[in-house]
Structure 1
């Protein structure tokens, strides 16, 4: 239980990246969107490098024992998908879409995990789905308040990504990879194509 709490706290720390961008913008510190995109690419490449060293070169820090789950010991870990998906969101979507999509992963996913029964169902229970939807909508609202349909679309995307497991052969797609991408894509489609 203690390790799970640590994982959730580390998961939530990704919100700090959004805060960094927003505070830098507010205080005019020069962290433009292109520079933030570059920072995210550097972080993602660094994360992929760490995973390569862990899986191929035998890098065995004690931290990995605390922050990876048993099934991740011999495969690409969730934190790697986390950084990759956040980076994809930042590279593909504008800030008003990418930033809440990042927060849905950083904050929404650990909250939905806290109310989950941790069973391995392919579709999570109604309590988890409703929690993820409500939290995601609350997160999206300050960024997309001028387009309520985009708020709902982003929340639906995050909820589907979090609540329904996708299986490709023997591989189950990690929701750390899908939450920002689904949320961002649906919100972006509404912003681009829905009637105003």
Structure 2
């Protein structure tokens, strides 16, 4: 069985982030063909084209690291009906210089996670819009909006809601098919 390297990119910096907890669940239940790793985007300096002349090492590292992966799995909270700045910054940094985007043509999926009932719908769709421009084929179905997440985990960070677990398993199986379809 062929293995595909998947970068798991979490758009929340909080240590006890529900997005991070959900990412860990997805990594645990990922099909065997998907080898998942967290890709840390926390320390990347904000994009400023003036810095391209003396490119920050963190930008170079992000660009090189993303190139090592076959596929991308994004988890995002919703901030003001959009994605957090850290996630958008990572996309901007990785998309430069023009014509050399490290994101190009990598199959992806998005999970938005929120304590609210709208489930990060706005962030999910803003991220999808950016990924379309970056030529990242993003899985359309099943869509993954996890709302009311504060009630889904116990104090130790374990997902306790069985219907959510089953949905996430279905989601990851669909993602596996999506990755295989785009890479074989």
Q: What TM-score do the two structures reach when normalised by structure 1? A: 0.30
Bigger proportion of residues as strand: 2
Bigger proportion of residues as helix: 1
Q: What TM-score do the two structures reach when normalised by structure 2? A: 0.31
